[in-house]
């Protein structure tokens, strides 16, 4: 076993509007929200049983404008059969490379790029294989 897709992260102008839409489309519920000065900065939606089940959650992250040269969607993965450090080593051997997007080094995830430069994150929690 290797990794599972656990989250899809979508940059968007209005997380609340997209959350309402995708919750109706997928029969999802809001699992988490982050606000800053009363404005929703992030919403996580997913199945009623929450994060870590067979379906990935969707994180809707406020971005006023798309960043030039950057996709508005990236994937988060979690290891299924080893810890985060061992999985990081495996992914780097496969051709992933660390990517700096301004993280502090205190995050619980690693930002990586695939061989074509598409960003994805390796999260800390280990998930059960499907």
What pLDDT, in 10s, does the model give residues 83-124? Answer: 999 999 999 999 999 999 888 989 999 999 988 788 899 999
Better pLDDT: 15 or 69: 15
- Domains present along the chain, CATH in parentheses: 3-123 (3.10.180.10)
User: Does position 1 have pLDDT exceeding 70, yes or no?
Assistant: no
User: Does position 26 have pLDDT exceeding 90, yes or no?
Assistant: no
User: Does position 5 have pLDDT exceeding 80, yes or no?
Assistant: yes
Q: How many angstroms separate the CA atoms of 79 and 128, rounded?
A: 9
Task: Tell me what pLDDT residue 43 has.
Answer: 96
How many DSSP H helices and E strands does the chain contain? 2, 8
Average pLDDT, the chain: 89
């Amino acid at each position: 076993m290797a990794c599972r897709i656990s989250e899809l992260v979508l940059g968007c102008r209005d997380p609340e509007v997209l959350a309402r839409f995708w919750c109706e489309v997928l029969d999802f519920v809001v699992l988490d929200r982050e606000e800053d000065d009363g404005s929703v900065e992030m919403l996580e939606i997913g199945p009623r049983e929450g994060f870590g089940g067979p379906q990935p959650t969707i994180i809707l992250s406020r971005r006023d404008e798309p960043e030039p040269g950057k996709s508005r969607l990236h994937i988060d993965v979690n290891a299924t059969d080893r810890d985060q450090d061992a999985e990081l080593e495996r992914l780097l051997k496969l051709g992933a490379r660390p990517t700096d997007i301004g993280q502090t080094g205190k995050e619980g995830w690693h930002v990586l790029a695939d061989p074509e430069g598409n960003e994805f994150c390796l999260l800390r929690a280990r998930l059960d294989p499907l």
